[in-house]
Amino acid sequence: MDTSRLFKCRVLIVDDDPIVLQTCAAIVRSFGFSVRTAEDGFVALKILREVLPDMIISDLRMPNMSGFELLSIVRRRFPHLPTIGISGEFLLATMPLGLLVDHFFQKGAYTPDQLNAKMKELIADSPIRPHIGKADRAPLWIPRKDAEYIVVTCPECLRSSSIADEMEAGDLQETECLACGAMIRYLVDSSVLKALNDKSLKLPA
Ligand SMILES: [Zn+2]
């Protein structure tokens, strides 16, 4: 492909570890991309309200808003936007990752060349990639934390609000966005956080 196009491509990288974030940003800049960074999902959403990148690379396990939540919002709102998930855990067998990301790398188990090749492949494909499911109707997917409230992010205006978590897990819920009035449909699922806490799922180092 015409590599001069890549210089116009903007990549948003999200990771809560500042060293990993800056290292990843430096590597991706060396590929010729323009890079913005965010230290969690809320900062990423703020950036997405301002300017839409051409790709998102996100850590999956982060405090405040996990990569799973962020990427489910991105998939719902911007289904054409290519996404890469990166995590220290081996999650593919148990997670609905294919619905959330276009590619998954396990932390420390890929080379910069592999990342570069996958990014260019996904960006080259993005104008023609099929929309996944009915993005406008697909519910958001929110991992359940053991708290009395959950954070729901509106896929229309990308603003987040806390609501009481008194529903049964796995039920489809609806709530109205306090900021813009849009109806938000969401699913609460505790399986991912349980899996993240299950050390047996980690691959041997
Ligand atoms: Zn809204």
| Local confidence band at 205 (pLDDT 50, 70, 90 cut-offs) | very low
How many A from CA of 146 to the centre of ligand 1? 25
Task: Say which residue the tokens 């987040």 belong to.
Answer: 160
The whole-number pLDDT of residue 174 equals 87
C-alpha 141/C-alpha 37 separation (Å) is: 24
Helix (H, G, I), strand (E, B) or coil at 16: coil
| Local confidence band at 203 (pLDDT 50, 70, 90 cut-offs) | very low
How many A from CA of 184 to the centre of ligand 1? 8
Helix (H, G, I), strand (E, B) or coil at 153: strand
Q: Which residues have C-beta within 8 Å of that of residue 85, sequence separation ≥ 6?
A: 58, 59, 60, 67, 71, 97, 100, 101, 103, 104, 105
Q: Which residue has the higher pLDDT, 116 or 156?
A: 116
User: Tokens standing for 145?
Assistant: 């934390």
How many A from CA of 73 to the centre of ligand 1? 12
Q: Which residue has the higher pLDDT, 47 or 65?
A: 47
How many A from CA of 36 to the centre of ligand 1? 24
Question: Around ion ligand 1, which residues have CB less than 5 A away?
Answer: 154, 156-157, 177, 179-180, 182
Beta bridge partners of 175: 184
How many A from CA of 155 to the centre of ligand 1? 7
Task: Please check whether residue 133 is in contact with residue 100, taking contact to mean a CB–CB distance below 8 angstroms.
Answer: no
The helix (H) or strand (E) run that includes residue 142 is strand 140-143
Residue 20 has pLDDT above 80, yes or no: yes
Residue 195 has pLDDT above 80, yes or no: no
Task: Say which residue the tokens 């009915």 belong to.
Answer: 134
The whole-number pLDDT of residue 54 equals 94
Over the chain, what is the mean pLDDT?
81
The helix (H) or strand (E) run that includes residue 184 is strand 183-189
Domain extents in the chain: 3-125, 140-197
Q: Which fold is adopted by the domain 3-125? A: Rossmann fold (3.40.50)
Percent of the chain having pLDDT more than 70? 73
| Local confidence band at 127 (pLDDT 50, 70, 90 cut-offs) | low
Per-residue pLDDT, averaged over 79-92, amounts to: 80
Task: Please check whether residue 90 is in contact with residue 201, taking contact to mean a CB–CB distance below 8 angstroms.
Answer: yes
How many A from CA of 25 to the centre of ligand 1? 30
Per-residue pLDDT, averaged over 150-166, amounts to: 86
